[in-house]
Chain A
Amino acid sequence: ILNVEQSPQSLHVQEGDSTNFTCSFPSSNFYALHWYRWETAKSPEALFVMTLNGDEKKKGRISATLNTKEGYSYLYIKGSQPEDSATYLCATPNTGNQFYFGTGTSLTVIP
């Protein structure tokens, strides 16, 4: 079992604020790191798949960085909007194709 931890557990920010949260994972035998956004009553939606140390990925106002040597990834949201309200999940697979998920960060953006 791979221990994947996310912090904070929940976050409330004002519309327009920028925010970030963390995913920590075992740095040994790293294979990939996935970020998902899960809105209420919808399916989890893939944001990024990151594989290389130092990777930075961006999708609109959302970006992510990866440090495989120390075992963490940051997700950043610039200028948060109410539609960004969701739970953000990270997951890492082992080489046997089994994925391990963190418990998620629940983001609420207050208009």
Chain B
Amino acid sequence: DVKVTQSSRYLVKRTGEKVFLECVQDMDHENMFWYRQDPGLGLRLIYFSYDVKMKEKGDIPEGYSVSREKKERFSLILESASTNQTSMYLCASGGHPRETQYFGPGTRLLVL
């Protein structure tokens, strides 16, 4: 059974804290993605990675960075958390764009 896991389901952080969200996949996928979900806005791509140490900015990369040191792991970093980064964060992995993407369960982040 394919699996994408995320390090936390719920997270509460303070403004200015550095936040790490981790995602691990066990399907040997080349591509991994970080999205955020906000009401009325749909899933928006923050960053994606098509290979180890390779990354591409999505539509909303400001305030975020990513790290992919191993194929199975893709981390999203909030350098200095702000209240407007309160959101649901979803990780996904996939192969070719004509193949299915698999999603993790999401991390609901609250920044106070």
Q: Which residues of A come within 8 Å of B, CB atoms? A: 1, 4, 31-32, 34, 36, 42-46, 49, 51, 89, 91, 93, 95-104
Contacts beyond the supplied A49-B98, A98-B56: 5 A-B pairs with Cβ under 8 Å: A43-B105, A91-B101, A97-B48, A98-B58, A104-B42
Complex interface bits, B91-112 against A, C-beta within 8 A gives 1, otherwise 0: 0000001111111111000000
Q: How far, in angstroms, from A102 to B37 measured CA to CA in the complex?
A: 11
Q: Is the CB of A99 within 8 A of B100?
A: no
Q: Is the CB of B42 within 8 A of A42?
A: no
Chain B facing A: main interface SS: strand
Contact of A103 among B41, B45, B50, B102 (CB under 8 A): B41
Contact of B97 among A4, A31, A44 (CB under 8 A): A31
Measured between beta carbons, the chain A residues less than 8 angstroms from B58 are 98
Chain A to chain B contacts (Cβ below 8 Å), 7 pairs: A34-B100, A45-B103, A46-B102, A91-B101, A98-B48, A99-B97, A103-B42
Q: Is the CB of A99 within 8 A of B101?
A: yes
Chain A CB within 10 Å, residue with most, of B50, B100, B102:
B100
Measured between beta carbons, the chain A residues less than 8 angstroms from B102 are 43, 46
Query: Shortest CB–CB separation between residue B93 and chain A, in angstroms?
Result: 11
Q: Is the CB of B59 within 8 A of A1?
A: yes
Q: Which residue of A lies closest to B99 (CB)?
A: A49
